[in-house]
């Protein structure tokens, strides 16, 4: 099986087992709880609302409305910009897209598990969460950090377009807004790569939000 086919299966599998929650509202609550823990901010630096968050250390607020996995909207509001609205995304599954026309049946090929699976998972998570093919940088959105201790610039924020799954997008945004240090980002990348490599290897049917978002409960 060629590389593109393997990676299509990996992408489809990760979305199916991790980002199609049976309890969307419960998933979103866990997402909110995970933010300041992952970003390692101080009390009050991140305010969680029912449909968004206010990240003081980034000078931004994010509002989202999730009607379904493939129908949602997200707005990022910049407190420092004259434009106020920095970025907005609307996904509506009632219209056709290239990705919606592709269905990849089957499971990851056993002969490739030992040598290729981790590399395929890494490549897929790069495109899905860490560095989407289509993206805009934080500097294009005029994002400015409100902390002097960060070692990363707003260029390291890559907000992806064309992400049709709401839960994928929010997980991606959680990673992108982690700007305190590169080590924290790299640790999270490694954790998710290992999590999904093992989940596919073990042929798991689901990966709950607490594992994806690294919550103890």
Q: How confident is the model at residue 217, as a pLDDT? A: 65
Q: Can you tell me the distance from the alpha carbon of 126 to that of 121, in angstroms, rounded to the nearest whole number?
A: 8
Model pLDDT for residues 172-199, shown as the tens digit of each residue: 999 999 988 899 999 999 999 999 999 9
Q: What is the pLDDT of residues 56-112, one digit of tens each?
A: 888 889 999 999 999 999 999 987 777 778 889 999 988 888 777 777 668 899 999
| Phi (first) and psi of residue 109, to 5 degrees | -65, 125
The answer to whether 59 and 80 have CB atoms below 8 angstroms apart is yes
Q: 13, 159 in Cβ contact below 8 A?
A: no
Residue 104, pLDDT score: 65
CA distance 206 to 133: 26
| Radius of gyration from C-alpha coordinates of the chain | 17
Q: Provide the whole-model pTM.
A: 0.93
**Helix residue spans in the chain (DSSP H):** 3-18, 24-39, 113-125, 166-176, 182-201, 209-212
d(CA 33, CA 29): 6
Which of the residue ranges 37-41, 51-55, 58-62, 82-86 would you say has the lowest mean pLDDT? 82-86
- Rounded average pLDDT over 112-118: 95
Nearby residues of 164 by Cβ (< 8 Å), 6 or more positions away: 70, 91, 93, 97, 99, 100
Residue 42 has pLDDT above 80, yes or no: no
Q: How far apart are CA 187 and CA 180, in angstroms?
A: 13
Report the pLDDT value the prediction gives residue 105, as an integer from 0 to 100. Answer: 67
């Amino acid at each position: 099986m060629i590389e593109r086919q393997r990676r299509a299966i990996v992408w489809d599998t990760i979305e199916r087992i991790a980002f199609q929650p049976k309890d969307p509202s419960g998933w979103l609550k866990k997402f909110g709880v995970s933010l300041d823990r992952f970003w390692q901010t101080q009390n009050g630096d991140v305010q969680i609302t029912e449909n968004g968050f206010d990240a003081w250390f980034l000078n931004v607020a994010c509002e989202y409305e999730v009607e379904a996995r493939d129908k949602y909207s997200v707005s990022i509001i910049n407190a420092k910009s004259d434009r106020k609205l920095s970025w907005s995304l609307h996904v509506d599954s009632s219209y056709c897209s290239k990705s919606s026309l592709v269905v990849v049946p089957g499971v990851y090929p056993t002969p490739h598990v030992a040598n290729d699976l981790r590399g395929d998972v890494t490549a897929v998570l790069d495109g899905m969460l860490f560095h989407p093919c289509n993206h805009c940088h934080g500097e294009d959105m005029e994002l400015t950090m409100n902390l002097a201790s960060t070692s990363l610039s707003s260029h390291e924020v890559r907000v992806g377009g064309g992400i049709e799954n709401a839960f994928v997008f929010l997980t991606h945004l959680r990673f992108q807004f982690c700007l305190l240090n590169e080590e924290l980002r790299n640790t999270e990348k490694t954790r998710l790569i290992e999590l999904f490599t093992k989940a596919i290897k073990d042929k798991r049917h689901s990966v709950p939000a607490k594992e994806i978002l690294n919550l103890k409960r």
